[in-house]
A and B are shown apart, each in its own frame.
Chain A
Amino acid sequence: MPGKLKVKIVAGRHLPVMDRASDLTDAFVEVKFGNTTFKTDVYLKSLNPQWNSEWFKFEVDDEDLQDEPLQITVLDHDTYSANDAIGKVYIDIDPLLYSEAATVISGWFPIYDTIHGIRGEINVIVKVDLFNDLNRFRQSSCGVKFFCTTSVPKCYRAVIIHGFVEELVVNEDPEYQWIDRIRTPRASNEARQRLISLMSGELQRKIGLKVLEMRGNAVVGYLQCFDLEGESGLVVRAIGTACTLDKLSSPAAFLPACNSPSKEMKEIPFNEDPNPNTHSSGPSTPLKNQTYSFSPSKSYSRQSSSSDTDLSLTPKTGMGSGSAGKEGGPFKALLRQQTQSALEQRGGSPHRFCRRREFPFFTLTAFPPGFLMHVGGVVSARSVKLLDRIHNPAFVGIMGNTRSYKLLDWNSFNSDEPETRDAWWAEIRQEIKSHAKALGCHAVVGYSESTSICEEVCILSASGTAAVLNPRFLQDGTMEGCLEQRLEENLPAGCGFCHIPYDELNMPFPAHLTYCYNCRKQKVPDVLFTTIDLPIDATVIGKGCLIQARLCRLKKKAQAEANATAISNLLPFMEYEVHTQLMNKLKLKGMNALFGLRIQITVGENMLMGLASATGVYLAALPTPGGIQIAGKTPNDGSYEQHISHMQKKINDTIAKNKELYEINPPDISEEIIGSPIPEPRQRSRLLRSQSESSDEVTELDLSHGKKDAFVLEIDDTDAMEDVHSLLTDVPPPSGFYSCNTEIMPGINNWTSEIQMFTSVRVIRLSSLNLTNQALNKNFNDLCENLLKSLYFKLRSMIPCCLCHVNFTVSLPEDELIQVTVTAVAITFDKNQALQTTKTHVEKSLQRASTDNEELLQFPLELCSDSLPSHPFPPAKEHLESASSNSGIPAAQRATSVDYSSFADRCSSWIELIKLKAQTIRRGSIKTTVTVEKASPMGEGNFRNRSTPPCANSTVGVVKMTPLSFIPGAKITKYLGIINMFFIRETTSLREEGGVSGFLHAFIAEVFAMVRAHVAALGGNAVVSYIMKQCVFMENPNKNQAQCLINVSGDAVVFVRESELEVLSTQQPTANCQPSCPGGEVTT
C-alpha cells in the first residue's frame, strides 16, 4: 500500500446555469481515482457552490498513482432525470510523486466539457502521502523526474548522462470501437481523453522503470507523441535521454541569469556540489565512480565487428528495445551484465560499470561546452508502412472486455508476430545509427522521431545529428583508433565541433574541404547542417535567420500497397528538392550553416508536403559561401541571355542585401593563406542517400551543381525558372524583427523580459482546378509567407523583437485542405545594446572557455562508443557498399518480405509493406573553435546594468508559457513536474460558435487556460519547453460540426525575476499563483 491520495473539493465558481427555471444549478462533484469514487453533497441553487468537502482518501499502489489521472466530474443534480454532467477536470498527480517537486496541488481548475468547452471553475486540493517501498520487483518508477527541456534543466547538474530511453504502448482507439455507433460523441471523446491520459501515465512509468534500471533518476528531452492510427489503433510512444541529475543545492548561488540557456548550463558546474560523492569522475571515490557508457548494445557490438549486413537483420532479432516490455527486462539485464563484465575486463577497472545501450542517441539539443567534439551532419531515415488492424480473435475478444481501459500491450497479443510498431522504430533507429557510423560518428544528438499518417499509410521519420562526443569523458580507457587520434589532435587546439569527424581520404561522400578558418589546422566542410541548437562555443558572425524549404508533390490517389509504393517513390525526390532549396536559400542569405533543422514530410490523400525549417548562421570557422550562378540552356539567344543576367544581378543583389541585413562581415582572408586543399573542381554539394538495407532500390542522388565556388542553378525549363523566382520571393522580416527556430537567436543576446508565446493556425482550401505541382508549391509558399507576415504585423508592438523557436507543422486533414500550425515565442530585446559589437567579448569568452574545461570534468558522461572498434572504419567505403549493394544484396529485404507474406497467409488483412527510405544528408563537420559565442558575456553585463522594467503584477497569477527552456531576465528556481495534456473538443453548432475559426480560436485559448491553471495549482508561474505536439482539426461544415484534438506538453516551473532575486536574495518564492479574488465575487 505505498500511497495515500487525498482530495478535497473546496468550491466552484462561474458554473453554467443548468436549470432554466431557476437560472441556477444544483451542483455536486464526483471524485474518481482508479475504481474508487467519492461524491460531495449537492450544493443547491448556486452558480458558486461552496462544498468544502471532507478529505476523500484513496489508498492506492504507486503504480496506479503513476498511471491513473484523478478524475473530477462536476454534475447537476436532477431529481427526476439523470444527473447532467457539467464538465470534468483531469489532474495528473505525477508531479506529487517526486520528492523535490510540488507538494500539493491546489487551485482553480477550469471545468472542461468536450462539447461546451470550459464551464466555470472548481477549487481542488490534492495531496499524496507516499510510503517508502523497498520492493525490488516493483513496477512503478515513482521519483524519476521528467523534463521536456532538451538540455540539462537549469537548476540541476548532470552527473551522468546515460543515454536513450524509449517505449511505446498501444491500444484500440475508442473512437473506432463498435460501441461508438451507439454511444454519444461526448462519451466517446471522454473515453478517448481518459484512455490517452491513462496510456501516457503508463508510458511514463515504463520509461521511468528503464531509467531506474540504468540507475538514472531523470529523463531529459522527454518527447511523447500520439499516433492516431485510426482503425488500427492508437499508439503512444515516447523517447528521452536518461540522466542522473543533481539538484544545485544552494539557491543563493544563483548566477546572474543569462540570456543563453546553454551558457547557463555551462555555469552550473561552477557551483560546487556539497556532496563530492556525486562527482563521478575522480578515482578517489571508486564506488561512485560509475562511468556509464551509453552505446554499444550487445547486438551492436556484434554488428560492428562483423559485416554490415547484420544491420538488416536487426529488426528481426527482437532487440528493438521498445518491444522489450516487462518480460524483456530480465533477459536484457542479463545480456547487459555480460557485456559489462566484458567491458570491465577491457577497461581494466574492476569498479566500473559500463552500461550499454542499443542506441547511442540523445534527444538533447544543447550541451555543456566541450561535450560535443565534432558534428558530422544530419542523419535521417524514413520508412513507409501500412497500418492494419490485427484480426486476431484473441485480441478482439479481450478488447471486447476492456471497457475499463486496462491497457494492453500490443505485443503480448502478438508475441509470435515480429512486425510491431517497436520493430518499425527499431529498424529506423538502426538505420540512423548506421548513418552516423558512416559519418565517422559514434553518437546521434538532437534526435527526434515523428510520424505522418493518412488513412492506412504511415511515414515514420527519425532524424538527428551525427556527432563525436568528447572522449575525455570516456573513463574506461577503451578509446581507440580514430577517436584517440583525434583526441590528441584536438585538445591543444581547442578547435571545435566544425572539424570533420571522418577521414579526409575516405570521405563518405564527396565534399569540399578547407582548412578551418579559425585554427587553420583541421579540415572543415563548406556547409554544415545540424538538428541541434547552436553550441555556445561556436563563433558566429552576424545574426541568424529562419530558413524554410517548402515543397508539395502531387500523388495519385491509391490504395494500400500501391499508395505506399507511390509515396516511397516520391520521397527521395522530395528529400532532394528540400535539400536543394535549403542550400539555395542558405547561400542566398550568405550563410554557411544550418541549426535546428527539422524536415517534416506530410502525407495526404493526393499529395505529399515537405517543410524544412532551420536557422541559418554564418560560422566563422567555415569558408565564405560562394554565390549562386545562373546558367541558361541556350546561351545564343540574346534576349534570353539578358534575362539570365538580369536574374543573376537580382540574386547577387539579394545576397549583398542579406549580408548587410544579417550583419555578416567576415574578416577577409585571402584564399592563398588558407590554401585550397582540393584543387580540382569538385562536385561540391552532394546529397548522399544511403539506402537502407531493406530498401530495394539504389539511389545515390547527386546534388552537385558544382563549378568552382559558385552554386550554379541551371535554368533549363520553366520549372527551374519558377524555382529561382520562388527563391527571390521570400521576403525578409520587417526591420526590427528577427526569427529563428532554435532556442536563441545567434547574434542577439540582450533579451528583455517581455515574452509572448502564441499559436497560429491556418487552413487553406485548394481549388481542385489549380492542382499542378507549381500551383501547389506557390499556394503552400504563399500560405507560409503570409502566415509569417501576419505574425510580424500582429507582434509589431514588440519591436525590436525576435521570434524564437518558430515551429511549423503541416498537416493535410482532407483532400484539398492544407493546415499549417505555428507555435513560437516573441521576445523583445534591447536594440541599443544589440548594436554594439564584439571583439572584446570574444576575448573575454575565450578566457572563460578555458575555465570551462575544468568544469567539464564534473560532467562525466561516458561514451562507450560504437566507434570502439580498434580500427578507424572507412565510412565512405562502407557507404558505397551499402548503396551499391542494395540491388545486389536484397537478401535482408527478401527475408523480411518472406516473413510478411507468410504472415499474410495467416492473416490476410495484415499486409505489410516496408519501404525504408533513409538517407544521410551530409555536410561536413567542423571542429569546435574555443572562441565562445561572442555575445554572451556582454548580455550578462547588460542584464546586470539594465534597469529591469517593472514586472507584471504577480497577484493576478500570470503564468508565462514559452517553447524555450528558459525565461529571459529570470531564473528558474524549481521544476514542478511535466505537463502533458490531451484534449478533445467538438461542436455540433459550428456556425453559432463563429465558424471554424471561432471554434478553434476558443479551443486553443481554453487549452492555454487549462495548462496555466494546472501550472498555477502546482505552485508554478511558468511553463518552459512548451510544445503543441498535435493539433488535429476536422470539420464538416455541411453538418455544422467540427472536432479538434490537441496535445500539449511542457515543464512547469517556478521562476524569479532577476530584479526580485537581488531583493529577495535567498528567499524562496512562494509563487502561489492562485488568482486572488478580491471582493468581487458575486455570491447569490
Chain B
Amino acid sequence: RKWSLSGSGCPEPNLGAPGSSLQAARPARAVLAPNGALRLPPGPGVAMTSELDIFVGNTTLIDEDVYRLWLDGYSVSDAVALRVRSGILEQTGATAAVLQSDTMDHYRTFHMLERLLHAPPKLLHQLIFQIPPSRQALLIERYYAFDEAFVREVLGKKLSKGTKKDLDDISTKTGITLKSCRRQFDNFKRVFKVVEEMRGSLVDNIQQHFLLSDRLARDYAAIVFFANNRFETGKKKLQYLSFGDFAYCAELMIQNWTLGAVDSQVDDMDVDLDKEFLQDLKELKMLVADKDLLDLHKSLVCTALRGKLGVFSEMEANFKNLSRGLVNVAAKLTHNKDVRDLFVDLVEKFVEPCRSDHWPLSDVRVFLNQYSASVHSLDGFRHQALWDRYMGTLRGCLLRLYHE
C-alpha cells in the first residue's frame, strides 16, 4: 500500500522521547541538579493524553528563547527549569504551570515547523503557519546554525550512519545534547545530499536551497567540501585549529583547486578537487628533486630576504626541509589517502617546524611570498601556472593555519 510520511507522523518524535534525551541532557542536568527541578520529561504525547492545552495564533508566535532551548535539545521539563532560572516568573508574574503550558506550545509548534525547516523554501510557501519573513529567516538561520565544538568533531568525516552512531560519544564529549547533535548532523547530511551533485557554485546552491545567510552558506560549503574529500581534522596535532581555520582553507581550495575553478559548467564542480590538477602537481616534484633547482631557489629566496627576516638563519637552515615538505605534499595529492591527510601534512611539514623555531607570523608571510615568487625566476622550471595555482592557495592556508 502506498503511504506517505509527509502528512502525518513525525520521523523523529522529538517531543517526549524520554529515553533518547536523557543522556544528551547530561551536562545540562549537571548544571541543573542543584535546583532540584528536574524530573523525567513528562512526554506530552503519552502521559497527558487526557488533557489538552493549546494556543494557536493567526500569526505564529515564535519565542526566541524557547526556540534556542528547543534547538539545544532540552526536554520540555528541562526547558521549563531553565526558563524558571532565567527569572522569567518574577519578571512576568506568571506561574510555573503557565510556563510549562507555554513551553509545550512552543515545542509543539517547533516540532510541526521542523518538517518544513528541512526544506526551507517550503517554509516560505507553506500556508499553514503565517510567519513574518524576518521570523522565517530567523527560524531557518538558527535551525541550521551549529556548534563549533560539534562541527570540529564531524568535520571531514563521512556523513554516514556510522558517524551518526558516534553521536552519543560526541554528545558526551562536547556537552551538547544528543538531540542537538542529531539535528546538526542531519542538517550537514541533508545539505550535503542536496548539493552534492549539483551544478554551479556550491555556496549559491546552498543558499538557494536552504535560504541561509551568506556567512552560514559559506560555512556549509566548507562542511560539504570537507565531508566530500574526507580531510582529516581530528588528529591531535590539528586540535588547535578552529572550524574557521578549516572553512577559510576550504574556501580557498574551492576557489582554486576544484573543477569549478576552471570550468563552471560541470557537475560537482565545487565539491570535488580537480583530478587533472592533482595529477599535474607531480610535475612540481622537480623543484626539490633537481638539486640545482633547489639550490637556486634557496639562494633566490635567501638573497631577497636577507635582513628582512628575524628568523633568517633558521630559515636558511631549514629551507630545504620546508621546501621538500611543501612540494612533496603537492606531489602526493594524487592519492586519496594523502589528500585526506593534507592538513596533517601541512602542519607536520611546515607549521610545526616553523613554530618550533618561533617564527613570527609576519616572517612566515614574508617567507611564503618570496618562496612562491622566486619560482618565477627559475628558468628551468616550466610549470609556473601550476605552481601559482597550487602555492597561491597553499600560502593562504598556511598563513591561516599558522597560529598557536
On A, residues with C-beta under 8 Å from B are 13-14, 16-20, 76, 78, 84, 108, 110, 113, 115-119, 121, 734, 756-765, 786, 789-794, 796, 817, 819, 952-953, 956, 958-961, 987, 989-998, 1000-1002, 1004-1006, 1008-1010, 1012-1013, 1033, 1035, 1037, 1075, 1077, 1079-1082
Contacts and interface: CB of A to CB of B under 8 A. Distances in A.
B290 to A, nearest CB: 54
A1080 B116 CA distance: 14
A977 B208 CA distance: 39
A1082 B121 contact: yes
B7 interface: yes
Interface in B30-60: 44-46, 48-60
Contacts of A994: 10, 13, 15, 44-45, 108, 111
Interface stretch (B122-130, B215-223, B273-281): B122-130
A792 B50 CA distance: 25
Interface stretch (B98-106, B180-188, B322-330, B394-402): B98-106
Contact of A793 (B8, B59, B98, B128): B98
A1037 B49 contact: yes
14 contacts: A14-B122, A17-B5, A121-B125, A796-B92, A960-B58, A991-B49, A993-B9, A996-B51, A996-B52, A997-B44, A997-B104, A1004-B56, A1009-B129, A1075-B124
Contact of A993 (B2, B8, B50, B58): B8
B127 A121 contact: yes
Interface in B108-135: 108-109, 111-112, 119, 121-122, 124-130, 132-133
B61 interface: yes
Nearest to A14: B122
Contacts of B50: 763, 765, 817, 1037
Given A759-B56, A1005-B128, 11 more contacts: A118-B128, A763-B50, A790-B55, A792-B94, A958-B132, A1001-B109, A1004-B54, A1005-B56, A1008-B56, A1009-B129, A1080-B125
Contacts of A952: 132
B95 interface: yes
Interface of B: 2-10, 13, 15, 44-46, 48-61, 92-95, 97-99, 101-102, 104-105, 108-109, 111-112, 119, 121-122, 124-130, 132-133, 208-209, 211
A961 B58 contact: yes
Given A119-B4, A1002-B112, A762 B52 contact: yes
B4 A13 contact: no
A306 to B, nearest CB: 53
Nearest to A1075: B125
Given A989-B8, A994-B111, A1081-B121, A789 B95 contact: yes
Contact of B53 (A18, A108, A762): A762
B54 A992 contact: no
Nearest to B50: A765
Chain A interface mostly helix, strand, loop or mixed? mixed
Given A14-B122, A116-B8, A765 B51 contact: yes
A1009 B98 contact: no
Contact of B133 (A16, A953, A987): A953
* Shortest 5 CB-CB contacts between residues of A and residues of B: A116-B7, A1080-B121, A16-B4, A995-B45, A763-B52
A645 B93 CA distance: 29
Contact of A119 (B3, B6, B15, B45): B6
Given A734-B92, A793-B102, A997-B44, A756 B125 contact: no
Nearest to A1082: B121
Contact of B13 (A13, A76, A992): A992
Contacts of B8: 116-117, 987, 989, 992-993
Contacts of B209: 1082
Contacts of A1037: 49-50
A17 B44 CA distance: 29
Nearest to A119: B7
A167 B187 CA distance: 57
Nearest to B48: A995
A1005 B128 CA distance: 6
Nearest to B120: A1080
B49 A760 contact: no
B56 A20 contact: no
A1000 B127 contact: no
Contact of A113 (B7, B112, B127): B7
A996 B52 CA distance: 6
B231 to A, nearest CB: 30
Nearest to B59: A756
A1008 to B, nearest CB: 6
A790 to B, nearest CB: 5
Most buried by A among B3, B45, B56: B56
A1044 to B, nearest CB: 10
Nearest to B61: A794
Nearest to B121: A1080
A1001 B121 contact: no
B102 A794 contact: yes
A997 B57 contact: no
B128 A110 contact: yes
A116 B4 CA distance: 9
Contacts of A762: 51-54
A987 B45 CA distance: 14
B292 to A, nearest CB: 58
A601 B165 CA distance: 57
Nearest to B100: A790
B51 A764 contact: yes
A760 B59 CA distance: 13
Contact of A734 (B52, B93, B119, B130): B93
B57 A758 contact: yes
A987 B99 CA distance: 29
A1016 to B, nearest CB: 9
Contacts of A19: 2
Most buried by B among A121, A991, A1006: A991
A961 B102 CA distance: 22
A588 B127 CA distance: 45
B55 A760 contact: yes
Contacts of B9: 989, 992-993
Contact of B45 (A84, A998, A1079): A998
Most buried by A among B46, B108, B122: B108
Contacts of B60: 1005
Given A758-B56, A996-B49, A16 B92 contact: no
A1001 B48 CA distance: 15
B108 A998 contact: yes
A793 B94 contact: yes
A960 B129 CA distance: 12
A992 B46 CA distance: 10
Nearest to B101: A790
A1050 to B, nearest CB: 11
B46 A760 contact: no
Given A794-B61, A796-B92, A989-B9, A1012 B53 contact: no
A117 B2 contact: no
A103 B24 CA distance: 57
A239 B99 CA distance: 41
Nearest to B94: A793
A16 B15 contact: no
Contacts of B52: 761-763, 819, 996-997, 1000, 1033
A17 B4 contact: yes
Nearest to B123: A1080
A775 to B, nearest CB: 17
A689 B181 CA distance: 67
Contacts of A14: 122, 125-126
A758 B49 contact: no
Contacts of B93: 734
B309 to A, nearest CB: 53
B4 A756 contact: no
A761 B130 CA distance: 19
Nearest to B54: A1001
A734 B95 CA distance: 12
Given A794-B61, A1006-B128, A1080-B124, A1000 B54 contact: yes
